């Protein structure tokens, strides 16, 4: 659902007068990219959870976005007045309770990995990096396999079980950071 919203919401680009506007788009690596216009006068109205945001788009944690919508200038002016003259981007961030639950669950999984030393597989690739370097926002799904199931699936290297993690983006196996 998020991808559909993102794809249909990507309407910012260079306008007819060649002024560079704020950019919200998906790059070739399927990552959401947010870029602020170089000049403050060209910036769109940015709303985070219904409140005006004056910071840079690049400072918004894309993994904390639940959904967003983009308004063309004429629509934004009708809703927000002169502040919306360059359009508006409305972000709804992940609910704090949901975020806290995801973060706590991920910390407990990271602790489990430290103590039990299971095989860690991220996006179908064996992972040896620091699990704590991965943003909990990037985690899409986690499955834990008991030793017997893990060994039958992955061999002797999974004798302590396995943690299977799916992420919303590709993880660099060396640094543990999102690519």
160 C-beta neighbours (distance < 10 Å), count: 16
Nearest alpha-carbon partner for 37 in 16, 53, 14 = 14
Q: Are 150 and 141 in contact (CB under 8 A)?
A: no
Domain assignments of the chain as residue spans, ordered by start = 2-94, 98-167
Nearest alpha-carbon partner for 118 in 164, 176, 166 = 164
* Tens-digit pLDDT string for the chain (179 aa): 454 444 444 444 333 334 467 887 777 776 777 888 888 888 899 998 889 998 888 888 777 787 788 889 998 898 899 999 999 988 888 776 666 666 777 788 888 888 899 999 988 889 888 887 777 767 778 888 999 999 999 999 999 999 998 877 665 544 444 44
Q: Order of strands across the sheet with 51-53? A: 51-53, 45-48, 88-93, 65-71
Q: Are strands 119-122 and 88-93 parallel, antiparallel or unpaired?
A: unpaired
Predicted pLDDT of residue 100: 66
């Amino acid at each position: 659902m998020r991808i559909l919203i993102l794809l249909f919401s990507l309407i910012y680009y260079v306008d007819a007068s060649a002024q560079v506007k704020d950019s919200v788009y998906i790059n070739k690596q399927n990552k959401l990219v947010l870029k602020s216009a170089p000049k403050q006068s060209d910036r769109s109205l940015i709303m985070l959870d219904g409140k005006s945001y004056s910071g840079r788009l690049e400072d918004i944690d894309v993994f904390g976005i639940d959904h967003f919508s983009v308004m063309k200038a004429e629509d934004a002016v009708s809703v927000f007045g002169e502040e919306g003259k360059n359009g508006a981007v409305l972000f709804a961030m992940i609910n704090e309770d949901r975020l806290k639950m995801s973060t706590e669950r991920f910390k407990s999984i990271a602790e489990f990995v430290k103590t039990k030393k299971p095989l860690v597989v991220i996006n179908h690739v064996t992972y040896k990096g620091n699990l704590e370097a991965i943003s909990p926002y990037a985690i899409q799904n986690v499955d834990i396999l008991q030793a017997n199931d893990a060994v039958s699936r992955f061999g002797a290297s999974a004798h302590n079980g396995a943690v299977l993690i799916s992420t919303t983006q590709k993880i660099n196996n060396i640094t543990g950071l999102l690519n």
